[in-house]
Structure 1
Amino acid sequence: MQITIIGTDLPGRDCPASRNFPGYTNIHVGVQRRGHPDELLGLQPADAASTTWTLDCKVTGTDIADLLGPHIQGPPGGRFIYLNWGSVEADGSFDGFRRAKVMLCDIPPAVFAEALNTHRLTATLGLTDAAGQPLCARVKPERISWSAG
C-alpha cells in the first residue's frame, strides 16, 4: 500500500519570533524515518505552495494497527507518521525544532476498508497552525482529510 501525504498552506521559509516561538529561518519539512530523526524523506522548503510525500507500507492484516513501513512510527494501535520541521543550515545540516504527528488511528474505518482494495491512502492537511507557525504536536482529526485513492 502507498500513503500519500499532501501538505498545503505551508508557513513560509522564515517564521519570526513570537511569545511562544523563538523564530527560525530557512525552514524545511520532511517525513522522519522510524528510529532516525535526522533521516528525512522529501525535505521541502516551507515556502512551497504545497508538498507531497508518498510512503510505501505493508499491510499485515485488515486493521490500521497492521500498517508497517520505514516511515511509520509507534506500536500497534498507536501508529503515526512524523513530519519534522527544522532550519537548513549553511553547511546543509538540518536543525530540527518541532514535529507534527499524523495519527493513523484517526483514519476513518470506512476509508481504510476502501484503501485495502485500492492499495492507496491519501491524507491532505494544512501545515500552518493558528498562530501562523509550523504545525506541530498531534494533528487533530478535523485538520486532516483522508481518502482511499
Structure 2
Amino acid sequence: MQIRIEAVDLPGRSCPAGPGFPGYGNVHVAVQRRARPDELLDLHPGDATSAAWTLECAASPLADGLDVKGPHVQGRPGQRFVYLVWGEVDDAGGFTMFRRAKLMLDGVDGQVLAEAVAAGRLVARLGLTDASGHPLCAAVRPPRVTWSAEETTGGAERRG
C-alpha cells in the first residue's frame, strides 16, 4: 500500500517574523523518515505551487481496525502519523528544521482506510499554510486534511 500526500497553499520561501515566530528564509518542506530525523524525502521549496510525496507502507489488522507501518510512518499503533518538516536550506544545501506538522493517521475514517488497503493507496489532501500565514504545524486531522482511497493503477478514485 501507499500513502500519497498532496499539498497546496504553501506559505512561501520567506516567512516573516510574528508573535511567537522568529521568521525564516529559504523555507522548504519534506517528509521525515522514522528514527532518522536527518533523512528527508523529497524536499520542496516553500513557494512551490504544490508538493507531493508517495510513501510505501503496509497495513496489518488490529483488534479495533488497521495499523499502518512504513519507513516514514511514526508513532505507536493507534497513534501513527507522518511528519511534514519545515526548515531553512542554507547556501551549502544543509537543512535546519524549525517546525513540524504531524499528519495524524488516527483521523482517517476506518472505512476509507479499509478501501485504501484494497485499492492500494491512501491519499491525503491539505493546505500547508496556517491561519497566520506561516508553515502548518502541530497535529493535523480533518477538516484540515481530507483522506480518500484511490486505485494505484490509475483507476477511478474512491472518496470517503
Match of 2:100 in 1: 99
Could you say what secondary structure the match of 2:18 adopts? coil
Per-residue deviation at 1:90?
A: 0.8
Identity %: 57
Write the letter of the residue equivalent to 2:85.
Answer: N
Which aligned segments of 4 or more residues in structure 1 are displaced greater than 2 angstroms?
60-64
Residues matched between the structures, number:
148
Write the letter of the residue equivalent to 2:132.
Answer: A
Write the letter of the residue equivalent to 2:113.
Answer: F
Per-residue deviation at 1:61?
A: 2.3
Q: Separation in 1 of the partners of 2:141 and 2:74?
A: 17
Match of 1:75 in 2: 76
Q: Separation in 1 of the partners of 2:92 and 2:85?
A: 19
Match of 1:146 in 2: 147
| Alignment of structure 1 residues 126-145 onto 2, 5 Å | 126-145=127-146
Per-residue deviation at 1:77?
A: 0.5
Match of 2:24 in 1: 24
Per-residue deviation at 1:141?
A: 1.7
Range 12-21 or range 55-64, more displaced: 55-64
Q: Give the gaps of 5 or more residues in structure 1.
A: none
Per-residue deviation at 1:140?
A: 3.1
Q: Separation in 2 of the partners of 1:80 and 1:140?
A: 10
The structure in which a higher percent of residues are strand is 2
Per-residue deviation at 1:13?
A: 0.3
Question: RMSD value over aligned CA atoms?
Answer: 1.0
Q: Separation in 2 of the partners of 1:83 and 1:134?
A: 10
Match of 1:15 in 2: 15
Q: Separation in 2 of the partners of 1:97 and 1:9?
A: 19
Could you say what secondary structure the match of 2:93 adopts? coil
Per-residue deviation at 1:119?
A: 1.2
Q: Separation in 2 of the partners of 1:103 and 1:140?
A: 6
Q: Separation in 2 of the partners of 1:141 and 1:39?
A: 27
Q: Separation in 2 of the partners of 1:125 and 1:40?
A: 19
Q: Separation in 1 of the partners of 2:16 and 2:68?
A: 38
Per-residue deviation at 1:25?
A: 0.3
Match of 1:61 in 2: 61
Q: Separation in 2 of the partners of 1:7 and 1:102?
A: 12
Match of 1:84 in 2: 85
Per-residue deviation at 1:19?
A: 1.3
Task: Note the alpha carbon deviations across 1:22-44, whole angstroms, 9 max, x for none.
Answer: 00000000000001111100000
Q: Give the gaps of 5 or more residues in structure 2.
A: 151-160
Q: Separation in 1 of the partners of 2:92 and 2:127?
A: 29
